[in-house]
A and B are shown apart, each in its own frame.
Chain A
Amino acid sequence: MSAELTTSSAAELGRRLAAGEVTSAEVTSAYLDRIAAEDGALGAYLHVDPEAALARAAELDGAGSVGTGLTGLPVALKDVVVTEGVPTTSGSKILEGWRPPYDATVAARLKAAGTVLLGKTNMDEFAMGSSTENSAYRITRNPWDHERIPGGSSGGSAAAVAGGLAPWAIGTDTGGSIRQPAAVTGLVGHKPTYGSVSRFGLIAFSSSLDQAGPMTRTVLDAALLHEAIGGHDPLDSTSTDAPLPLLVECARRGADGNLSGLRVGLVRELGGDGHADGYEQGVLDGFTAAVALLESMGAEVREVSCPAFDLALPAYYLIAPSEASSNLARFDGVRYGLRVGDDGSHDLDDVMALTREQGFGPEVKRRIILGTYALSSGYYEAYYGQAQKVRTLISRDFSAAFGTSDDPGVDVLVSPTTPTVAFPLGARVDDPMAMYAADLCTLPASLAGLPAISVPCGLSDGLPVGFQIMAPALADDRCYRVAAALEAAQGGPLIDRLARAEKDSAEKDRA
Chain B
Amino acid sequence: MSTPSPKDPLSRQEIAHLARLARLAVTDEELDLFAGQLAVVLDAVARVGEAPVEYVPPTTHAVPMTNVMRPDVARPSLPQDVVLAGAPAAEDGRIRVPRILGEEA
**Which of A's residues lie within 8 Å of B, judged by CB?**
98-102, 194-195, 208-209, 234, 237-238, 240, 308, 311, 313-315, 317-318, 325, 329, 332-339, 342, 344, 346-354, 356-357, 360, 362, 365-366, 368-370, 372-374, 376, 378-379, 382-383, 385-393, 395, 432-433, 436, 447-450, 473
Q: What are the interface flags for B14-32 relative to A under an 8 Å C-beta threshold, 1 for contact and 0 otherwise?
A: 1100111111111100100
Considering the complex of A and B, which 10 residue pairs feature the smallest CB-CB distances, nearest first?
A449-B62, A388-B58, A339-B88, A389-B53, A353-B25, A357-B25, A382-B6, A391-B59, A336-B86, A237-B68
Residues from chain B with Cβ under 8 Å of A393 in the complex: 51-53, 56
Residues from chain A with Cβ under 8 Å of B85 in the complex: 99, 101
Expressed in whole angstroms, the Cα–Cα distance for A398 and B59 within the complex equals 14
Starting from the known contacts A383-B48, A432-B37, 14 additional A-B residue pairs (CB-CB under 8 Å) come to A101-B83, A195-B62, A234-B70, A240-B63, A308-B51, A318-B45, A335-B87, A337-B88, A348-B98, A350-B25, A362-B34, A370-B42, A376-B21, A436-B41
Of B49, B61, B100, the contact of A238 (CB 8 Å cutoff): B61
Measured CB to CB, the nearest residue on chain B to A381 is B6
Whether B45 pairs with A314 at a CB distance below 8 angstroms is: yes
With contact pairs A342-B88, A347-B102 given, residues A334 and B24 touching in the complex (Cβ less than 8 Å): no
Residues from chain B with Cβ under 8 Å of A100 in the complex: 86
How many chain B residues touch A (Cβ–Cβ < 8 Å)? 60
Whether A387 pairs with B48 at a CB distance below 8 angstroms is: yes
Residues from chain A with Cβ under 8 Å of B51 in the complex: 308, 311, 386, 389-390, 393
Q: What are the interface flags for B39-73 relative to A under an 8 Å C-beta threshold, 1 for contact and 0 otherwise?
A: 01110111111111100111111110100101000
Expressed in whole angstroms, the Cα–Cα distance for A430 and B23 within the complex equals 24
Of B14, B46, B89, the contact of A314 (CB 8 Å cutoff): B46
Chain B proximity of A416: nearest CB distance (Å): 21
Can you identify 25 A-B contacts, CB atoms within 8 angstroms?
A101-B82, A102-B78, A238-B65, A238-B68, A311-B48, A334-B87, A335-B86, A346-B98, A347-B99, A357-B25, A365-B30, A365-B34, A366-B38, A368-B22, A369-B24, A373-B42, A378-B1, A382-B49, A386-B53, A388-B59, A390-B48, A433-B41, A447-B62, A449-B61, A473-B62
Main SS at interface, chain B: loop
Determine which residue in B6, B44, B45, B83 has the highest number of CB atoms from chain A within 10 A of its CB, and name it: B45
Whether B19 pairs with A369 at a CB distance below 8 angstroms is: yes
Residues from chain B with Cβ under 8 Å of A314 in the complex: 44-48
Whether A432 pairs with B63 at a CB distance below 8 angstroms is: no
Whether A349 pairs with B23 at a CB distance below 8 angstroms is: yes
Chain B proximity of A430: nearest CB distance (Å): 8
Any chain A CB within 8 A of the CB of B97?
Answer: yes
**Which of B's residues lie within 8 Å of A, judged by CB?**
1, 3, 6, 10, 14-15, 18-27, 30, 33-34, 37-38, 40-42, 44-53, 56-63, 65, 68, 70, 78, 82-83, 85-89, 95, 97-102
Residues from chain A with Cβ under 8 Å of B78 in the complex: 101-102
Main SS at interface, chain A: helix
Expressed in whole angstroms, the Cα–Cα distance for A383 and B48 within the complex equals 7
Determine which residue in A194, A195, A390 has the highest number of CB atoms from chain B within 10 A of its CB, and name it: A390
Expressed in whole angstroms, the Cα–Cα distance for A329 and B23 within the complex equals 9
Residues from chain B with Cβ under 8 Å of A350 in the complex: 25, 98
Residues from chain A with Cβ under 8 Å of B100 in the complex: 347-349
Of B10, B30, B50, the contact of A373 (CB 8 Å cutoff): B10
Measured CB to CB, the nearest residue on chain B to A345 is B98
Residues from chain B with Cβ under 8 Å of A354 in the complex: 25
Expressed in whole angstroms, the Cα–Cα distance for A57 and B99 within the complex equals 48
Residues from chain B with Cβ under 8 Å of A208 in the complex: 60-62
Residues from chain A with Cβ under 8 Å of B102 in the complex: 347
Residues from chain A with Cβ under 8 Å of B3 in the complex: 378
With contact pairs A378-B1, A383-B45, A393-B51 given, residues A372 and B22 touching in the complex (Cβ less than 8 Å): yes
Of A349, A357, A382, A385, the contact of B26 (CB 8 Å cutoff): A357
Residues from chain A with Cβ under 8 Å of B22 in the complex: 325, 329, 356, 368-369, 372
Of B15, B24, B95, the contact of A353 (CB 8 Å cutoff): B24
Residues from chain B with Cβ under 8 Å of A387 in the complex: 45, 48
Whether B98 pairs with A376 at a CB distance below 8 angstroms is: no
Whether B15 pairs with A433 at a CB distance below 8 angstroms is: no
Residues from chain B with Cβ under 8 Å of A362 in the complex: 30, 33-34
Residues from chain B with Cβ under 8 Å of A336 in the complex: 86-88
Expressed in whole angstroms, the Cα–Cα distance for A448 and B61 within the complex equals 8
Residues from chain A with Cβ under 8 Å of B47 in the complex: 311, 314
Chain A proximity of B52: nearest CB distance (Å): 8
Whether A389 pairs with B57 at a CB distance below 8 angstroms is: yes
Measured CB to CB, the nearest residue on chain A to B43 is A433
Residues from chain A with Cβ under 8 Å of B44 in the complex: 313-314, 317, 433, 436
With contact pairs A101-B82, A195-B63 given, residues A342 and B98 touching in the complex (Cβ less than 8 Å): yes
Chain A proximity of B63: nearest CB distance (Å): 4
Whether A365 pairs with B88 at a CB distance below 8 angstroms is: no
Whether B58 pairs with A448 at a CB distance below 8 angstroms is: no
Residues from chain B with Cβ under 8 Å of A101 in the complex: 78, 82-83, 85-86
Whether A351 pairs with B98 at a CB distance below 8 angstroms is: yes
